[in-house]
Amino acid sequence: MTTLLDVRNVSKRFTMGGIFGRKTIDAVMDASFSLSSENPEIFTIIGESGSGKTTLARMILGLEDPTEGDILFRGEKVDRHAGRAERLKFMSRVQPVFQNPFEAFNPLKEIERYLESTARRFLGTSDKAAIDKAMDDSLQKVGLSLKEVRGRFPHEMSGGQLQRCAIARALIPNPPLLIADEPVSMVDASLRMSIVNLLKSLRDDLKVSVIYITHDLATAYYISNRLIIMQRGRIVEMGDARTVLDNPEHAYSRLLKASVLSTDHAGAGKLETDPGMLDLANDSVGRAGELVARPDGRHVRVYA
Amino acid sequence: MTQENDIILQVEGLKAYYQMNYFGVNREVRAVDDITMTMRKNEVYGIAGESSSGKTSFIKVLAAAIRPPLRVVEGTVKYNFKNGPIDVTTASPEQIETVRWKHLSYIMQGSMSVLNPVRRIGRTFQDFAQRPLGLSGRAFEDRVVKHLARLNLPADVLKAYPHELSGGMRQRVTIGLATVCHPEFIIADEPTTALDVVVQKEVLSLIRDIQKEMGASVVFVTHDMSVHANVADRVGIIYAGRLVEEGPTRQMFFTPKHPYTAHLVASLPRIGDTQQRPALEGRPPNLADPPQGCRFHPRCPLAVDKCRKEVPPMIEVAPGQRSACWRWEDVKPLVNIAAPAGAMA
Ligand SMILES: Nc1ncnc2c1ncn2[C@@H]1O[C@H](COP(=O)(O)OP(=O)(O)OP(=O)(O)O)[C@@H](O)[C@H]1O
Ligand SMILES: Nc1ncnc2c1ncn2[C@@H]1O[C@H](COP(=O)(O)OP(=O)(O)OP(=O)(O)O)[C@@H](O)[C@H]1O
Ligand code: SF4
Ligand SMILES: [Mg+2]
Ligand SMILES: [Mg+2]
């Protein structure tokens, strides 16, 4: 078995502030996992807001240096400071889709320019027809077309349309690894399913591995092979997605599942959280503990 | 019965289009096309609808954030604020300044947009909230810090630049900005989509608390039907620029009277789903050239000939519930949601 991606004991510490005094934030602490090349999978990261999911994704993309640990892609170290040609080669293989499509696009440029520059850069061609075809092909994959997008600026699109454009852009170089940071948080349920199904077919038909970051436990359950759950910089539970979500073990994982809103009591305004569960989950914050294996194959962080 | 002075917002026959000219060719996107609705003081009104149906465009008009190429073509949007009535479709920028933040606040879709990337969060709070709150120095900071704590944000975020915060933290900062002055009317576009479900619940409770404490009214847009189910007093459904149904939350979920509503409330995926829920056939309508008659007809399982020709009017179909469908009496809930005992009463 060869590994596509190997994340080894990775940590990230940010230093914030200047004149107000320095403060450090441990955004990611000792994260490890790997993806194999032979079995493309949808590997999902869920967890607290601010728990380090985006930071982890940015390190995998080589946009941020780990403070500690290594990230290897196909056996080679992901290096932000590698030469231009090497960076370009890496970037054609690991493509991002970011959290907020409104931030991902330059508001002053037509959307197709953004797709076009990606196509030009990665397909190594300046043939107009070939570029148009590549753009249209990938827009079709997300239910849009070049005809609909042509000439439009980001603010002329709705949130959902823009997010689909962002995915289309990432698909242009046919990458083996896609890192999708909350790609569906801005779209409606049907479109959400169509994007999630798109990720699924990328995995099944095109053998693309996907790191899927989300707050939506239902789609995580629906498409993921494995998942990790993060709390304040640490992985607290990891394993087969359905095993973990059917029966979460860590206190934070349980709180997460219990907090999903339902429509069963529509109109009754149910927003309370069980304080006991909250206390249990908060109890683990700031404690290192240790990830231990369980007989069903999952790993759970336990505290002495 | 609704009293005249209970009404905080009255929207009548609102049409707002994007009117553009590309190289001599005129293009018009009819994003808001004849919406009429009313809101009472103290009410939480949720708006749902598919992507690009015009939800953001509609609440931009409500929020008096109307910028070209968006133009109000027809209709009125009247508020009845404590400092006097105002129609935001005709008010001058100076008049709108007098209500912004203190009476009317707007949380935009995509949280970064109001945060200045080169200004620390604390400075942004000063810019927006110091004057309306009439506090300064320590007192102001204390107030802000206390407020942020309710959103589960540490005081340190005031010292941070936007890029130093996670997506969900930024989203909470913008909610903090929009609520710190305790406005009378809060407009929020997808306010909790970037939050984990634990924090989401807390933030929704906060919005509800502020609303109750201050007697504020809230209108919010989200795709997440479970948020509507638990937060909204009433829900309105927008399809292709039109309000197609509205009513008390419980009725909308358990006895929808428009086929599109029935579809929406059943489409919410749940943990445990291993199969896709039935999706709508066909493509979303093109708002530059919307379908004739009922705009939903190309995708509607109940469509008949009449639907293709005549626009169904919005009529009262149950107490407080209005629907625009020729066949509202034939609409059955596509239930996968178990109605609890007594829910239909
Ligand atoms: N450039 C930066 N400088 C300083 N701190 C940062 C920076 N980027 C992120 N952080 C901090 O690191 C922590 C993790 O942030 P990250 O964006 O990875 O969270 P996340 O899990 O993606 O959250 P969300 O679900 O809200 O998007 C946060 O406390 C954030 O404030
Ligand atoms: N500035 C603009 N110029 C031209 N067209 C626009 C502009 N902004 C939005 N539109 C178009 O108006 C229609 C409605 O968009 P709007 O943003 O109101 O949708 P939405 O319901 O909020 O969608 P989403 O849920 O995806 O955010 C879409 O077809 C969109 O492309
Ligand atoms: S009016 Fe006709 S097409 Fe429109 S929703 Fe009702 S049945 Fe369907
Ligand atoms: Mg993030
Ligand atoms: Mg919108």
Structure confidence by residue, pLDDT tens digits, B264-315: 988 888 888 888 777 777 777 888 888 999 999 999 999 999 999 999 999 9
- Is the pLDDT at B142 greater than 60? The verdict is yes
Per-residue pLDDT tens digits for B23-62: 677 778 899 999 999 999 999 999 999 888 999 999 999 9
Taking the centre of ligand 4 as the mean of its atom positions, its distance from the CA of residue B247, in whole angstroms, is 35
Which chain B residues have a beta carbon less than 8 Å from that of A157?
52
Residue pair A40/A208 in contact (Cβ under 8 Å)? The answer is yes
| % of chain A exceeding 90 in pLDDT | 58
| Residue A280 in domain | yes
**A48 in contact with B, Cβ within 8 Å:** yes
Domain span at A35: 3-39+51-78+214-302
Residues with CB in 5 Å of ion ligand 5: A 159; B 56, 109
Task: State the ligand closest to the CA atom of B16.
Answer: 2
pLDDT of the residue at A161: 78
What is the CB-side half-sphere exposure of residue B134 using CA atoms within 13 A? 2
pLDDT of the residue at B230: 94
B340: DSSP letter: P
Taking the centre of ligand 2 as the mean of its atom positions, its distance from the CA of residue B52, in whole angstroms, is 5
Q: Does the beta carbon of A46 lie inside 6 Å of ligand 1?
A: no
**A293 in contact with B, Cβ within 8 Å:** no
Helix (H, G, I), strand (E, B) or coil at A9: strand
Provide the pLDDT confidence category of residue A155 given band limits of 50, 70 and 90.
confident
Q: Determine which of A11-15, B71-75, B179-183 has the lowest per-residue pLDDT on average.
A: B179-183
pLDDT of the residue at A131: 94
Per-residue pLDDT tens digits for A213-250: 999 999 999 999 999 999 999 999 999 999 999 999 99
**B81 in contact with A, Cβ within 8 Å:** no
Per-residue pLDDT tens digits for A86-99: 888 898 899 998 76
Residues of B (267-326) whose Cβ lies below 8 Å from A: 267-274, 276-277, 279-280, 283
Residue pair B307/B297 in contact (Cβ under 8 Å)? The answer is yes
DSSP one-letter string for A20-56: T--EEEEEEEEEEEEEESSS--EEEEEE-TTSSHHHH
Which of B18, B22, B196, B289 should one mutate to test binding to chain A, selecting the residue with the greatest count of A CBs within 10 A?
Answer: B196
> Nearest-CA distance from A91 to chain B in Å?
22
Provide the pLDDT confidence category of residue B338 given band limits of 50, 70 and 90.
very low
Average pLDDT value for chain B = 88
pLDDT of the residue at A99: 65
| Residue A125 in domain | no
| Residue A137 in domain | no
* pLDDT, greater one: A19 or A156: A156
Total domain count, chain A: 1
Q: Does the beta carbon of B56 lie inside 6 Å of ligand 2?
A: yes
Which chain A residues have a beta carbon less than 8 Å from that of B255?
none
For CA atoms A107, A111, A117, A119, the dihedral sign is positive
Q: In Å, how far are A116, B18, B82 from B66, measured between CA atoms?
A: 31, 10, 23
pLDDT of the residue at B111: 58
> Nearest-CA distance from B52 to chain A in Å?
5
Instruction: Tell me which chain A residue has its CA closest to the CA of residue B288.
Output: A148
Helix (H, G, I), strand (E, B) or coil at A186: coil
Taking the centre of ligand 1 as the mean of its atom positions, its distance from the CA of residue B267, in whole angstroms, is 32
Mutate to test the pocket of ligand 1, among A53, A59, A216, A236 (most ligand atoms within 8 A of CB): A53
Taking the centre of ligand 4 as the mean of its atom positions, its distance from the CA of residue B221, in whole angstroms, is 21
Per-residue pLDDT tens digits for B3-26: 557 899 999 999 999 998 766 777
- Is the pLDDT at B343 greater than 60? The verdict is no
- Give B234: exposed, middle or buried? Use CB within 10 Å, 0-12, 13-18, 19+: buried
pLDDT of the residue at B3: 54
| Residue A71 in domain | yes
Residues of A (71-90) whose Cβ lies below 8 Å from B: none
Atom 1 of ligand 1: nearest residue by CA position:
B164
Peptide bond into B93 cis (omega under 30): no
Task: State the ligand closest to the CA atom of A163.
Answer: 2
Which chain A residues have a beta carbon less than 8 Å from that of B165?
50
> Nearest-CA distance from A45 to chain B in Å?
12
Q: Does the beta carbon of B259 lie inside 6 Å of ligand 3?
A: yes
- Is the pLDDT at B122 greater than 50? The verdict is yes
> Considering the entire predicted model, what is its pTM?
0.90
Q: Do A259 and B276 touch (CB under 8 A)?
A: no
Which of A49, A253, A254 should one mutate to test binding to chain B, selecting the residue with the greatest count of B CBs within 10 A?
Answer: A49
- Give A170: exposed, middle or buried? Use CB within 10 Å, 0-12, 13-18, 19+: buried
Q: Do A47 and B190 touch (CB under 8 A)?
A: no
| Residue A68 in domain | yes
Atom 3 of ligand 3: nearest residue by CA position:
B297
For residue A69, give the CATH number of its domain.
3.40.50.300
For residue B38 the two structure tokens come to 């009313």
pLDDT of the residue at B238: 97
Taking the centre of ligand 4 as the mean of its atom positions, its distance from the CA of residue A181, in whole angstroms, is 7
Per-residue pLDDT tens digits for A159-182: 677 878 888 999 999 899 999 998
A70: DSSP letter: E
pLDDT of the residue at A21: 62
- Is the pLDDT at B174 greater than 70? The verdict is yes
Taking the centre of ligand 3 as the mean of its atom positions, its distance from the CA of residue B299, in whole angstroms, is 9
Which chain A residues have a beta carbon less than 8 Å from that of B212?
none
Instruction: Tell me which chain B residue has its CA closest to the CA of residue A51.
Output: B166
| Residue A271 in domain | yes
| Residue A264 in domain | yes
* pLDDT, greater one: B124 or B112: B124
Per-residue pLDDT tens digits for B242-278: 999 999 999 999 999 999 999 998 888 888 888 877 7
- Is the pLDDT at B158 greater than 90? The verdict is yes
**B221 in contact with A, Cβ within 8 Å:** no
| Residue A275 in domain | yes
For residue A67 the two structure tokens come to 């403070």
For the beta carbon of residue B138, count every other beta carbon within 10 angstroms.
8
| % of chain B exceeding 70 in pLDDT | 93
- Is the pLDDT at B336 greater than 70? The verdict is no
Q: Does the beta carbon of B19 lie inside 6 Å of ligand 2?
A: no
- Is the pLDDT at B1 greater than 50? The verdict is no
